[in-house]
């Protein structure tokens, strides 16, 4: 049955690939959605009987539901990865997804803050008083100074800070580890923060940043915190943790960093994902040219 195959695949992703809970949930939701569609529309409950025709019908239904091209492509990618797994398990003879093509996406440049806006955020803006404000400011500092993802920040431990080498060890997608340099001033702030946790007698489960009661941070808390302070510091429409990640990469590029180095710092698996930041760089050059050249 298709449900059993999906269970086996999710088990594989969890225990062998060691994917995050968030990623596992996304894969499972996508695959179960396709399973339900195949069963309801075609009375199919076996991976071997599914063809590219059935999958194309599913994609058409998603379009009718006004799903975005990006979302549809993600679901198609989930199904493709699932069938690759089934091929390795010799549970199917072919991958029907290979006969389909991903939808063309509109070009979407990353939103990022100007340098004066990040300066206002981190040096001039008043955060809340007390331990909560301390935590919130460090959330914003870490996102901007390291470019890490929200999930990476959530699982960051005190033991991941390499104090003598002035760097932080981050566990990224696919359980890949990378090292990111951090400024000594940020290390001093983290030292004070850890000392404050001990003074407050908060329970110690190893997490670097915690709530006022010592409990671990959670995704919505981080999102709301970043949105709150970015709403004060910038006029950007988007105000999420990923904006600070984009800002980290864009400011590095604008100040002369090598694109390969930025790729490694961000934890991208391919250079293609990082090259989107060069478009922002070109847009900035065009703006400078227009403002300063006599024939601009």
Given the structure tokens 């914003």, which residue do they identify? 140
d(CA 12, CA 88): 12
Q: Which residue has the higher pLDDT, 147 or 271?
A: 147
**pLDDT in the model for residue 93:** 95
By three-state DSSP, how is residue 219 classified? helix
Domain spans, the chain: 2-99, 115-292
Confidence of residue 40 (pLDDT cuts 50, 70, 90): very high
- pLDDT exceeds cutoff 70 at 288: no
Q: Are strands 167-171 and 161-162 parallel, antiparallel or unpaired?
A: antiparallel
Question: Of the listed 9, 27, 144, 277, which one is catalytic?
Answer: 277
Confidence of residue 5 (pLDDT cuts 50, 70, 90): very high
Q: Which CATH architecture best describes the domain 115-292?
A: Orthogonal Bundle (1.10)
pLDDT, mean over the chain: 92
Question: Of the listed 150, 197, 239, 245, which one is catalytic?
Answer: 245
Question: Of the listed 114, 173, 178, 227, which one is catalytic?
Answer: 173
In this prediction, residues 32-50 reach a mean pLDDT of 96
**pLDDT in the model for residue 276:** 83
- pLDDT exceeds cutoff 70 at 282: no
Question: Of the listed 5, 75, 150, 242, which one is catalytic?
Answer: 242
Active-site residue, 268 included:
yes
Question: Of the listed 74, 114, 178, 268, which one is catalytic?
Answer: 268
Confidence of residue 175 (pLDDT cuts 50, 70, 90): confident
In this prediction, residues 126-142 reach a mean pLDDT of 97
**pLDDT in the model for residue 106:** 72
Nearest to 207 by CA among 122, 142, 268: 142
- pLDDT exceeds cutoff 80 at 135: yes
Q: What percent of the chain has pLDDT over 70?
A: 94
Among the residue ranges 9-13, 98-102, 141-145, 282-286, the one predicted with the least confidence is 282-286
Active-site residue, 242 included:
yes
d(CA 227, CA 221): 10
Give me the phi and psi of 21, to 5 degrees please. -60, -40
- pLDDT exceeds cutoff 80 at 287: no
Give me the phi and psi of 178, to 5 degrees please. -140, 160
By three-state DSSP, how is residue 25 classified? helix
Question: Of the listed 75, 149, 197, 246, which one is catalytic?
Answer: 149
d(CA 158, CA 105): 40
- Fold observed for domain 2-99: DNA polymerase; domain 1 (1.10.150)
- Find the DSSP H helices in 16-105: 21-42, 52-64, 69-88
**pLDDT in the model for residue 286:** 62
In this prediction, residues 183-188 reach a mean pLDDT of 96
Active-site residue, 173 included:
yes
In this prediction, residues 273-281 reach a mean pLDDT of 78
Report pTM: 0.68
**pLDDT in the model for residue 295:** 63
Nearest to 219 by CA among 151, 173, 148: 151
pLDDT digits (tens, 9 = 90+) for 256-276: 899 999 999 999 988 888 888
């Amino acid at each position: 049955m298709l449900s059993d195959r999906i269970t086996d695949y999710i088990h594989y992703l969890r225990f062998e690939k060691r994917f995050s809970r968030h990623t596992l949930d996304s894969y499972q939701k996508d695959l179960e959605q396709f399973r339900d569609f195949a069963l309801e529309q075609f009375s199919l409950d076996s991976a071997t009987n599914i063809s590219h025709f059935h999958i194309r019908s599913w994609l058409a239904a998603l379009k009718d539901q006004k799903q975005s091209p990006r979302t549809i492509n993600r679901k198609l990618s989930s199904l493709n990865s699932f069938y690759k797994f089934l091929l390795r398990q010799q549970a199917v003879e072919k991958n029907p997804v290979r006969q389909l093509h991903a939808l063309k996406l509109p070009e979407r440049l990353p939103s990022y803050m100007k340098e004066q806006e990040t300066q206002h955020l981190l040096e001039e803006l008043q955060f809340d008083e007390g331990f909560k404000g301390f935590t919130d400011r460090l959330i914003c500092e870490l996102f901007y100074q390291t470019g890490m993802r929200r999930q990476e920040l959530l699982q960051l431990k005190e033991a991941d800070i390499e104090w003598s080498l002035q760097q932080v060890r981050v566990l990224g997608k696919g359980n890949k580890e990378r090292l990111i340099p951090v400024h000594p001033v940020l290390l001093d702030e983290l030292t004070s923060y850890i000392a404050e946790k001990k003074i407050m007698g908060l329970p110690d489960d190893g997490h670097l940043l915690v709530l006022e009661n010592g409990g671990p941070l959670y995704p919505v808390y981080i999102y709301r915190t970043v949105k709150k302070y970015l709403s004060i510091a910038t006029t950007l429409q988007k105000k999420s943790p990923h904006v600070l990640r984009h800002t980290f990469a864009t400011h590095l590029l604008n100040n002369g960093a090598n694109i390969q180095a930025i790729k490694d710092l961000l934890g991208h698996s391919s250079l293609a994902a990082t090259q989107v930041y060069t478009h922002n760089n070109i847009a900035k050059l065009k703006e400078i040219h227009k403002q300063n050249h006599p024939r601009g």
